[in-house]
Amino acid sequence: MRLFLLMLLLSVTAATAWAGPYDGRYRPDHSSGDSWDCKRVGKDGGAILLTSNIFFAVGSRCNLRDPVRVSGMDATLYSAICRADGTPWERRIMIMKTENGIAVIQSGARVSMLRKCE
């Protein structure tokens, strides 16, 4: 029994230690996002999930590596290796906290405003 409790405590502590600053489920921060289902992840109309160093979006998954804090901002720049339907690609992604959630800025100046699911 003691071993079980120790293992349980270690797993909870490890999960907390590896939690990222942006972890959570998100949906678009505009009126069309109101109809998104925050329980389903990675499906059309489902939530976008950020957990530790993995970003799950509709039909894709990115591993976030080499985090660099952006000076003077509540933001982090990552090297991302993404995969969707086959061949992986690499890009730079910056994630920044906003009043309602996060902004995801990708190379090519594409900005996605995401609201945290309640």
pLDDT at 8: 31
Residue 44, classified by CB atoms within 10 Å of its CB into exposed (0-12), middle (13-18) or buried (19+), is exposed
Whether 1 is in a domain gets the answer no
Q: How far is CA 20 from CA 11, 27, 52, 87, in A?
A: 16, 18, 4, 27
Whether 39 is in a domain gets the answer yes
Q: How far is CA 112 from CA 3, 5, 65, 93, 106, in A?
A: 45, 42, 20, 11, 8
What is the domain extent for residue 105?
Answer: 21-116
Whether 9 is in a domain gets the answer no
- Count the domains in the chain: 1
The pLDDT > 90 percentage for the chain reads 42
pTM of the model: 0.76
Whether 56 is in a domain gets the answer yes
Confidence of residue 7 (pLDDT cuts 50, 70, 90): very low
Whether 16 is in a domain gets the answer no
Residues 41, 23: contact at Cβ < 8 Å? no
Classify the C-alpha dihedral 55-43-89-26 as positive or negative.
Answer: negative
Q: For the segment 31-70, what is each residue's pLDDT rounded down to a tens digit?
A: 777 778 888 887 788 888 999 889 888 888 999 999 999 9
